Chain A
């Protein structure tokens, strides 16, 4: 299992190494994602058999199937996939930076910050159109992160302070969100509450593109910088000794994490616990090395959100529940197990 496979791209001066076991897991997870993807597209008010789904996806199915798939289901399932990737990678980076297994964008307030501006946008400017919602969420997430970072700064940022201050910022964000919900008319309020639970319900192609582009930028960057995370997990002193510019890399990595988390929030609202669970599952599968962790976590996250959305929209049909509800139901026992285990070993 410990056979290493090395990839080299000499023209870019890049090389990385991966264990054979990890490669196996990546293949398995990718296949599982593909299967859920096809099944999820097929199930709904009008069921389409998997072979027909595949035909339709490659433009050879019957026109009715193609219509349903391309306008309704494909954007939704793609959005779920991308949101899962973004949240999982954001969480993996954050856990590496903060060196705490319980950190995730939703617990330390980045998602909360993004929610405030997004809800403000929904309730106060509901005539302005949904096009600017992602930008609003992004601004909020970035502001929250900046605030957390500045407040946690005391000759450098200690992971402990970062996480505690994040919890505080999250509380402020929750207060502001409630304030906005209260002062707005009831119909925008219920719209905002659905969004706040985390749902890929109303995804369209513009959602997919708005999610895909930031991921295409920040995912490769995260992979590139992930080796610094390996150094950071050894502790600040040792990382500095290894020649890593700890504070600079920490800032950059937090920035990537925020960008990815805000992208996900903008598309689907705060889907909780994915940023927490996916990196942990990945770590169980591959071990702690970040270069291997990120791709596995990304696939796990995609799988989680797609399955959650599939369950949420089919299990209580005709009710179309928010996916965030199911990730929370999965996430809570997971978290309990996690804290219990970390309490024993640490």
Chain B
């Protein structure tokens, strides 16, 4: 057993408090930083004495919803990833890699293109449906046969399902060019331009899933020791797996409904949490929730600066004759680029072992 930096109850509590502080700092940073400069004075006044100045409006109607969405989506994805890694005993499992995000995204795009669905309520349900379908397919495929869930088979199935849904999504976009404009940014995983009502609609689902996830943390920890051990200890493994899968679908589905398919957050954060606290899911899951929120907030702050007008990247691009129309990068791109080195490191390690 490898020892972890946080292995006494005192250190675990201390670490979680530090995590919450990091989350709060990132949250405040997310409200303060960006293209429109906001000083501390204005920031405080925006909440105490509302005033329709530009800075205050930016803070209240753009940055605050965005920060809240980042926290809830980040936490949800990280917890979903942690649950999937436990369920499949596969360190590479996460909603992005296993095609759940891509499936949910495809169903939403198809619904908006062919059936003119536009209410956010409907999107949410469709995203759940898509997430459920694709996780069923991937999980079903991965678990057929005597060898069961070999990590490689499952990862491959996920990659293939992702490719399949991605092609179909692109096909829909090609046939409906007007949809392209609307959904392209959403499709790449973005938390910009959503107001609080979008979050409010999925928040009940997320909240139920969060509570349920934390509730099954203990049985999950037992399940990690293997099916037969868990059964021997009197656990009804089928039910635990069912509830865990339900949580994955709810968490990933609602995250996609709000923010589009944001990749890799569900992979990176659980690994960081596992490095810190080990395989005890009673601590792992809260750490995932806190760190997941902080991770997405920080990635989102990065997304604002990468191609900010007047920034170095934009200067470089305009030197080559390109015209940059958007002024920020979808956060999903940032998380994907951060996540890949992680993924590759884990892949290298897990195969040699």
Contacts and interface: CB of A to CB of B under 8 A. Distances in A.
A124 B320 contact: yes
A127 B322 CA distance: 10
Interface residues of A, number: 62
A193 B97 CA distance: 22
B325 A181 contact: no
A116 B23 CA distance: 34
A100 B152 contact: yes
Nearest to A194: B174
Interface stretch (B50-58, B179-187, B223-231): B179-187
A189 B167 contact: no
A194 B344 CA distance: 30
The dominant DSSP class at the B interface is helix
Contact of A182 (B166, B167, B170, B188): B188
A178 B183 CA distance: 12
Nearest to B344: A168
B141 interface: yes
A321 B180 CA distance: 15
B19 interface: no
Contact of B156 (A107, A151, A174): A107
Interface stretch (A10-18, A45-53, A159-167): A159-167
Contacts of B161: 332
B347 A197 contact: no
Contacts of B187: 178
Interface of B: 92, 96-97, 137, 141-142, 144-147, 152-153, 155-157, 159-161, 163-164, 166-168, 170-171, 173-175, 177, 180-181, 184-185, 187-188, 263-264, 307, 317, 320-326, 329-330, 332-333, 336-337, 339-340, 343-344, 347-348, 350-352
Q: Which 5 A-B pairs have the closest CB atoms?
A: A343-B145, A175-B336, A164-B347, A343-B144, A328-B167
Given A106-B163, A182-B326, A325-B167, 17 more contacts: A107-B156, A107-B160, A160-B152, A161-B347, A163-B156, A164-B347, A167-B97, A171-B336, A184-B322, A185-B323, A319-B175, A321-B171, A324-B170, A328-B167, A339-B142, A339-B153, A340-B144
10 contacts: A106-B163, A158-B351, A164-B351, A176-B337, A178-B330, A183-B326, A321-B171, A324-B170, A328-B167, A332-B161
